[in-house]
Structure 1
Amino acid sequence: MSEQSGPLVQKHSENGITTLTLNQPERRNSLSMAMLEALSAELEAIAADSETRVVVLAAKGSVFCAGHDLREVRDQFDSHEFQLELFNQCSKVMQQIVNLPRPVIARVAGVATAAGCQLVASCDLAVAADTARFATPGVNIGLFCSTPMVALSRNVSRKHAMEMLLTGELISAPKAERLGLVNKVVDDQVLDETVYKLASTIADKSAHTLKIGKEAFYRQLEMPLADAYEYTSKVMAENMMADDAQEGICAFLDKRKPEWKDS
């Protein structure tokens, strides 16, 4: 097995797009405690970075992410404290992605299983190569994918989520697209082109507006219908007072390109 080369999570920023790349292909980019802590630190930094407008989450090698590091888990079989800390840390990272005031796009090439599938489901958008595959196979080793279930069940229908969770079987990228786990499936040769075209389209919008919209989207999902409308009405009224909303409306009426202030 080759030695680790470079940081566990590589970071590259260009044109308002920050790419975070899981960089432990020799360990199938598994979510060890160290990987989770590295990813958490990068997400925390991005949350405070006004230059980043969109985040792309990628991975090196033929596996996007195989879930938790089972060797690490096995070494800590006797420590309930470690196991709880590991799953809490993983849950923290998934919530950081959802709560990040920047859209996050998963770039999926290869296999995404267990917590790796959870990682894809936690991102706001996902683009997959046609060779990618997905599964929540914990049931096969006696460890039900309970935390991956949270993100999965919020992206696909209950019966499809239960089928994945109960069988543990791999599904193809086209099926994942049909179920709503990913937005788009493309040939591997145009994966980067597709991902970064999507990222650039989003990065061209007002960062302030995107932040408002992403937060409101996830909050209203958990509300009863009447509460959701009451909440989003308040959000839109507040949004209308923002510089970028007023600039955008004036630019549309004047038939010109808006000049965002991100405020």
Structure 2
Amino acid sequence: VARLPRVGNRLAAMLDLAPARLPGREPTNRVGRFSPEGGPATKRVALLRGCAQSVLRPDFNAAAIRLLNRHGIEVVHADEGCCGALTHHMGKEASSHAHAKHTIDVWDAEIAKGLDAILVTASGCGTTIKDYGFMFRDDPAYAEKAQRVSSLAKDVTEYVAQLDLAATAESDLVVAYHSACSMQHGQGIRTEPKTLLKRAGFTVKDVPEGHICCGSAGTYNILQPELAAKLRARKVANIERIRPDVIATGNIGCATQIGKGTGIPIVHTVELLDWATGGPRPAALDGVTPRLEAAE
């Protein structure tokens, strides 16, 4: 009985994070191959569909596919399912390893056909996938396959940073870049996303105390809702201090967590890069106009 209030708080936190309505289904969310138009592909990559992100924000991967196709890269959506990151964070090894093994098997079959990279648009998932080689180092049946997958895994911004992006749209929007803990601390990716946004023509502002968590942290915002809410309030206050027009991040958990605490639109970094190089304006930016004066 004593545990009921805590369980109630967790349930309330989970319901609070759920969107009022789900977005429409993206045709690019299906399993399949997406090829460049107007010529043969120069490279071939797999893109993690993800579980939560494919339902909550399928527009993230849709933007990534458009951006990659526009630059001559074929994208494969395999039927890998959950990568096991969330249950891995919770210490549920049997469940996380079962999910990971299925993912490894599916991607290893694609590697055999030729893959230049395995791309991830959710940095929480990317951190775990890059760790597959270590997770299965003592498993004779999976050690080699897991290492192959990990060696090819990249955050989408790591890969796109190698491309010759040509910005075609001009924007005066001020972007606050939020670096997820799984991105900057877990993967050590700190400069690539900001550099890409600047190259694409956006004014990019660092968030004060950017090294501190927003409170999402996998399932932390559900299991520890009170502390997570305090971290979100601190993060949102720091973001709003720099008066951005839009927030960019590379993780669905952060986008959901921060988005519940502010009216400033939040998008994936790849959505802005897609828009700047010929793709559609992100739907979250409908009606958004640049501030006349950005805080310095």
If the length of structure 2 is used for normalisation, what is the TM-score? Answer: 0.27
Q: Identify the structure with the greater strand proportion.
A: 1
Instruction: Select the structure with the greater relative contact order (CA < 8 A; seq sep ≥ 6).
Output: 2
TM-score (norm. length: structure 1): 0.30
